Amino acid sequence: MDSCAFFGTVSEVYDSWERVKRIPDYEETVGIALFDRMFEVAPDQWGNVFNWTRDDFQNKDEKFLGFANKFVRMLDLAVHMLGPDLEIVEEQMHDIGVSHRNYGVLPIHLQLMGESLAHTLQGLLGSSFTPATKQAWKDIFGFWSTSMIQGAIEA
């Protein structure tokens, strides 16, 4: 992606994320919907990274809600790291890839999480989640994942 296309894509992701953040208790709302979707589409993939079950999301288990808050703030941090200089963002994502390899995160987790996040945002934002917004999230999540995996391989 050239830096001009990247700028438009980042704006789209940033604006839609700001709309999500206006939802009351957005961390819990996004966290519950995201994890429920991740576990719905791939129930057997998460054993080495998470101890949760779908009951925890559906019954709003208190420990899970605390975790969901932290997890969604992690995504918020990643959105805010996006800036005009592609190379700086890439370097930061390389470092995050190294820490995440140590947390047991595999490429398949990133792929499933990216797809589940797009589905979750579409559900929360309705018609304002346009095909362009969807494509922008796909591009940014792909960029995050590729940079994280690259960082983990090179370290």
Q: Which residues bind ligand HEM (CB under 6 A)?
A: 49, 74, 77-78, 96, 99-100, 103, 105, 109-110, 113, 144
Look up residue 109 and give its two tokens: 């987790």
Kindly state the smallest distance separating residue 133's Cβ from ligand HEM, in Å. Answer: 17
Shorter beta-carbon distance to ligand HEM: residue 69 or 122 = 69
Name the burial class of residue 85, with classes exposed (0-12), middle (13-18) and buried (19+) by CB atoms within 10 angstroms of its CB. exposed
Distance CA 12, CA 129 (A): 10
Kindly state the smallest distance separating residue 67's Cβ from ligand HEM, in Å. Answer: 9
Kindly state the smallest distance separating residue 127's Cβ from ligand HEM, in Å. Answer: 26
Q: Among the residues of 48-130, which ranges form H helices? A: 54-58, 62-81, 86-102, 107-125
Shorter beta-carbon distance to ligand HEM: residue 5 or 49 = 49
Which residues have C-beta within 8 Å of that of residue 60, sequence separation ≥ 6? Answer: 28, 32
Which residues have C-beta within 8 Å of that of residue 25, sequence separation ≥ 6? Answer: none
Distance CA 136, CA 113 (A): 15
Kindly state the smallest distance separating residue 50's Cβ from ligand HEM, in Å. Answer: 7
Shorter beta-carbon distance to ligand HEM: residue 97 or 129 = 97
Shorter beta-carbon distance to ligand HEM: residue 24 or 32 = 32
Distance CA 117, CA 104 (A): 20
Kindly state the smallest distance separating residue 23's Cβ from ligand HEM, in Å. Answer: 20
